[in-house]
Structure 1
Amino acid sequence: MIRTLALTLLLAGAAASAEAQDMLIKGGPIYTGVDAAPTAEAVLVRDGRIAWVGKLADQPAVPTEIPTIDLKGAALFPGFTDGHAHLDGIGWRELTLNLEGSVSLADAMARLTAWAAAHPEGPIAGRGWIETRWPEARFLTAADLDAAAPGRVVLLGRADGHAVVASTPALAAAGIDASTVAPAGGEILKGPDGKPTGLLVDAADQLVTSLTPQADPAALREAYRAGFRVEASYGWTGVHFMSAPWEDIPLLEDMAADGEAPLRIYNSITPEGAAELIAGGPRSVADGRIITRAIKYYADGALGSRGAALFEPYADRPDTTGLMQITEQEIVPLYQAALKGGIQIATHAIGDRGNASVAEWYQQALAGVAPSERPNGADVRWRIEHAQILRPTDYHWFRDLPIIASMQPSHAIGDLYFAPARLGDARLDGAYAWRSLVDLGVIVVGGSDAPVERGAPLIEFYAAVARADLEGHQGPDWRPNEAVDRATALKMFTLWPAWASFREAELGTIEVGKRADLTAFNVDLMTAPVADIPKGHATLTVVDGVVVYRKD
């Protein structure tokens, strides 16, 4: 798909550096996201903002030089924002070995062999494999990689981003052997002989990061260009970039200044930049195109690799309860420093123990810094990223503190094949509990976690309202009551991400005076059969009144 859209996306990149375009958009259903006036027939954009929205019968006189965009039946919405994604990883997925969709271990290794033949020099990096639906039903090992790409340094990340398998040459280059001790919050899997199998879980992947090819500045810029192209083609107008590398922020800001950032990026940075960001305060360039005002921390790991921290042992591996990545003594002072610096906090938490711990730490930090000492007063808008497995008795934290629940509906598509085995049935009561949190009045921000997932907004919207995989399979007892209605799903990807980034006054709905960020799809998300939603595609992506992607 990326190749066939090359010309359109090249033009989109050029448009990103242009001045805002005036336009009249009509010819399809328009959903404003405004409860009091949810639909319209036309939208007028002037100078990058919404100048008028309403019925055709009430349309004001429009100068003849203003072009009309005919939706041709496509449905227009406020700009869709991915509330949790990794822009660098999305770009690298386009430039490295992509194992997404591999149907077996053998298939994945055949792809590796082909890639190694086509790229005979240098280390091989890739990601996207997941064993839960493979007939072999096991993790990859160094031996698998060695057989597929003999003698090569190979690093292949699991789809969830919380485990990487390294080849024997990679392990040797990193100095990892039977005596190597995993860093805190990580695990080096070992076989019966005591030797590493090649799988490095969570923090243990730090041992091999120096071997990856991502350090080349020119390649890094190209990866971001690729990420922007893909996201624009999907219909995203903005991305909440989680774990944005602190050292990459100047590059993104330069790209925005050079007209190479067609989408709106809200950065939540890696912890190594925390002190500098807190000291300098929130950053914004190119009229808010790139904003950096949050720090992303990790409380635990992922469910699939059994790194998510649980109160009780894993049902399918009773010797472990997962991995915490940080302690109360370490994190609470960091949270309090962010409060005093006016910096938002986003913390990754997947397991029930991870989520409960973060909520308690948030409470301690907030209690220790009076609102008068905070630039944002009481309006801090702290987030938990994923909030995936909760005890129902802990829902109240999200309402009472409050905490934004930043959740990715597509995780409930892939995870339904292994979460019951990992958790047992009882703990599914608090799993992917979108509806329960919304009913409590919690802001639930929808995201994709791409490249962990494909990252398409239509898949995410479908997952939120169907709570089933793309074939319609839901599985027994997958808590269908936690699906949300379509109006709520629309807020999850429009208004609520705007609120979570402190921009609800400018973004998230189609209203006069707001910025002209708009997304059109060839499927009407509000009326089409649910099964048809993920079969559609974006037809128009507009950011600040500039068409950054168009496909009829």
Structure 2
Amino acid sequence: MKKYVLLLSTLFIISCHTKEQVDLIVSNANIYTVDEDFSKATGIAIKDGKFVEVGDTDEINKKYTAQNSFDAQGKTIVPGLIDAHCHFYGLGQNQQVVDLVGTESYEEVMERVVAFQKERPSNFIRGRGWDQNDWEVKEFPTKDKLDELFPDTPVALERVDGHAYLVNQKALDMAGITAETKTEGGEIVKENGKITGVLVDNPMGLIDQVIPKASLAQNIQALKDAEAISLDYGLTTVNDAGLPREIVELIDSLQQAGELSIRVYAMISNYPENLDYFLEKGIIKTNQLNVRSVKVYGDGALGSRGAALRDHYSDKPGHFGAMVTPVDQIEALAHRIAETDYQMNTHAIGDSANIVVLRAYEKALKGRTDRRWKVEHAQVISPSDFNYFEKGIIPSVQPTHATSDMYWAEDRLGKERIKGAYAYKDLLNKAGLVALGTDFPVEQVNPFLTFYAAVARQDVAQYPEGGFQMENALSREETLKGMTIWAAYSNFEEEEKGSIEAGKFADFVVLSDDIMTIPSEDIPNITAEHVFLGGVQKK
């Protein structure tokens, strides 16, 4: 009997000290979990791609054992970062065209185009990234120099915001564009009755029709290039704001084959064929892909004066911008999408475009709950219109737009209207959350610039002193939530990502510095030293 009791006691002791086997233990970390209490932890246990337990390192080590371990050595860990509005596929495409970002003059644009064509000759030259607001002469360029340099080769150079082209005569001829061409929802810019070569918003589609279609190999490379860049910055989920069916299906196939690992929230572009296919098919959801929203363009961009304003531009009397999608079409779309499980995510920059979208949402969503429709950018809002965001509509905003535009935005809008622009704190106070992104490649991919712009409202040279409209700065906690759990919520994914909690995907980033405590001027220098996606180290 004594032997039997002793045996039971021994088995009980052994069982009490048997540790659960997991795949990875992370220890000695400074973890911001971004859970409901914004609590902190020092250790994590991970199994089958998900967090098993989050807590104290010593307690984790007592309960679990793993063949793989990661000693964070006191470094800061945050949930995998989510870019709530970007152009992931577009970023990859940009790696295959002339990079015009940061050019300080039209002459520099031409130099880069000539050098690129010499190095990588093409039958149709493409580039992206010019911004006349960065030049000494802040006027739209003309095609004269392009015609001189490339009389027989079509050229299309996209403005940094994606809302204007500069094209040469060869491209115009191929597209059949003349001074008599009629367009709506944009502008064929002319001087003295002659086409300058600048096309704003909808007329760009005429050029798109003659640009050679990318090959399958080029598209695959574009997606892989974009993934490599995004993961390097700690982005584990990207919301691509507008994709055709073929690219959505390509992303899915690459993910299923293990050739693409980043998680993608895909907004389908507002094309008839996309709507007919996806709205009928319904939500498409895997662990890596979520297709449940339609991206609609309300108006154009402020930098190219395509944003639709209620009153004329302060620096261009008589000009109001334009709706890219007519008001009646936005209303019809809202009602059609409301009958499905899809979101409607609409680009709205100007105050006129924003109120059109907000009214359409309110009318279409009457009697419906938890739809989480988004206004992408929500950039210029009239004072009385902020109240619409109290009704479950989510503002999806990009803080670096404020610090990129602040040098000239007041010239466009005037002293009074600028007060309702880039008003992230006001939007947060009304909506209860903001989803934060970059709009890359319009802005840089770097999410730490997003964080810095949100909390400091300055450029990297600490201009302006004291920050730009600091009444609309976000706190660091609000900003981190906007880049993680609030962005996940906006995607209907808050139960699977956005915080470091048991049961969620083990997506997390090890930072070079403590983003919550270092001086604000040092935030742009933070790097993602290690990136884990589903518990697997990607960097």
User: TM-score, normalised on structure 1?
Assistant: 0.90
Q: Cα gap change, 1:43/1:404 in structure 2, threshold over 3 Å: closer, same or farther? A: same
**1:229 alignment partner in structure 2:** 228
Cα deviation for residue 35 of structure 1 reads 4.3
Q: Distance in 2 between matches of 1:25 and 1:55?
A: 10
Cα deviation for residue 39 of structure 1 reads 1.2
Q: Which moved more, 1:154-163 or 1:320-329?
A: 320-329
**2:447 alignment partner in structure 1:** 457
Aligned runs of 1:205-354 on 2, under 5 Å?
A: 205-272=204-271, 273-285=274-286, 288-354=287-353
What's the RMSD between the two structures over aligned residues?
1.7
**1:498 alignment partner in structure 2:** 488
**2:6 alignment partner in structure 1:** none
Cα deviation for residue 142 of structure 1 reads 1.2
Cα deviation for residue 72 of structure 1 reads 4.0
Q: Distance in 1 between matches of 2:67 and 2:94?
A: 39
Q: Cα gap change, 1:404/1:118 in structure 2, threshold over 3 Å: closer, same or farther? A: same
Which structure is richer in relative contact order (CA contacts within 8 A, separation 6 or more)?
A: 1
Q: Cα gap change, 1:73/1:95 in structure 2, threshold over 3 Å: closer, same or farther? A: farther
Q: Distance in 2 between matches of 1:214 and 1:522?
A: 41
Cα deviation for residue 234 of structure 1 reads 1.0
Cα deviation for residue 160 of structure 1 reads 0.6
2:26 aligned partner, one-letter code? I
Q: Please, which runs of 5 or more residues in structure 2 have no aligned partner? A: 1-21
Aligned runs of 1:373-412 on 2, under 5 Å?
A: 378-399=369-390, 401-412=391-402
Q: Please, which runs of 5 or more residues in structure 1 have no aligned partner? A: 1-20, 372-377
How many matched pairs?
Answer: 516
Cα deviation for residue 310 of structure 1 reads 0.6
Q: Distance in 2 between matches of 1:171 and 1:430?
A: 38
Cα deviation for residue 133 of structure 1 reads 1.9
Q: Contact 2:156 / 2:167 at 8 angstroms: preserved in 1?
A: yes
Cα deviation for residue 441 of structure 1 reads 4.2
Secondary structure of 1:410's partner?
A: helix
Residue 521 (structure 1) aligned with residue 521 (structure 2): no
Q: Contact 1:416 / 1:475 at 8 angstroms: preserved in 2?
A: no
Q: Distance in 2 between matches of 1:395 and 1:123?
A: 45
Q: Contact 2:458 / 2:467 at 8 angstroms: preserved in 1?
A: no
2:297 aligned partner, one-letter code? Y
Secondary structure of 1:251's partner?
A: helix
Q: Distance in 2 between matches of 1:474 and 1:353?
A: 29
Q: Contact 1:523 / 1:532 at 8 angstroms: preserved in 2?
A: no
Q: Distance in 1 between matches of 2:135 and 2:465?
A: 18
Q: Contact 1:381 / 1:404 at 8 angstroms: preserved in 2?
A: yes
Which structure: larger Rg? 2
Q: Distance in 2 between matches of 1:63 and 1:461?
A: 35
Q: Distance in 2 between matches of 1:514 and 1:65?
A: 19
Q: Distance in 2 between matches of 1:37 and 1:424?
A: 39
**2:405 alignment partner in structure 1:** 415
Q: Contact 2:23 / 2:66 at 8 angstroms: preserved in 1?
A: no
Secondary structure of 2:91's partner?
A: helix
Q: Distance in 2 between matches of 1:532 and 1:477?
A: 15
Q: Cα gap change, 1:53/1:270 in structure 2, threshold over 3 Å: closer, same or farther? A: same
Q: Cα gap change, 1:259/1:391 in structure 2, threshold over 3 Å: closer, same or farther? A: same
Cα deviation for residue 246 of structure 1 reads 2.4
Residue 540 (structure 1) aligned with residue 536 (structure 2): no
**2:91 alignment partner in structure 1:** 90
Q: Distance in 2 between matches of 1:270 and 1:467?
A: 31
Cα deviation for residue 331 of structure 1 reads 2.3
Cα deviation for residue 329 of structure 1 reads 2.3
Q: Distance in 1 between matches of 2:462 and 2:454?
A: 13
Q: Distance in 2 between matches of 1:132 and 1:357?
A: 28
Q: Distance in 2 between matches of 1:402 and 1:175?
A: 45
User: TM-score, normalised on structure 2?
Assistant: 0.92
Q: Contact 2:435 / 2:487 at 8 angstroms: preserved in 1?
A: yes
Q: Distance in 1 between matches of 2:332 and 2:209?
A: 30
Secondary structure of 1:515's partner?
A: coil
Q: Which moved more, 1:487-496 or 1:115-124?
A: 115-124
